[in-house]
Amino acid sequence: MTDTSSDACVLPVRIYYEDTDAGGVVYYANYAKYMERGRTEWLRALGIDQSAMAVREKCLFVVASLAIQYRRPARLDDVIAVNSSVRRVGAASIEFAQSITRDGELLCDGTVKVGCVNADSFRPAHIPPELRLLLEKVSS
């Protein structure tokens, strides 16, 4: 279940065997996948259906940059919390602040910038006005 009681979203994720390396530690690239899920569920909780938006508005979001600082490992069977919030909304981009915690302990944190592109040309496009207003409201 996703908690969106504030402008942030918290998505719980259980760590399965498939998520870990031979040492039982979450493989580093999987943190980016968890962050992707966190952003997607955050938008879904706000009522944004990205599939419908791609058809209706010809708008897609693509990751433009990602910076992650790893601090502590997550392990098999842990339940982690993926925390997502909007840091900044630009004309054609959104910058998210994200962190992953376990029982309040910071495991990693980072910044993800997603760009809005036209679904046909994949060229940069303005964020649709209705969506932009919603994002600005929750990021202030």
Please list the active-site residues.
Answer: 21
Assess contact for 60 and 116: CB atoms under 8 A: yes
- Four-CA torsion 59, 132, 10, 73, nearest 10 degrees: 70
Q: Which residues of 103-130 are buried (b: 16+ CB within 10 A; e: fewer)?
A: eeeebbbbbbbbbbbeeeeeeebebbee
Assess contact for 78 and 34: CB atoms under 8 A: no
- Backbone phi, then psi, for 22, in 5-degree steps? -65, -25
Longest dimension (CA), the chain: 47
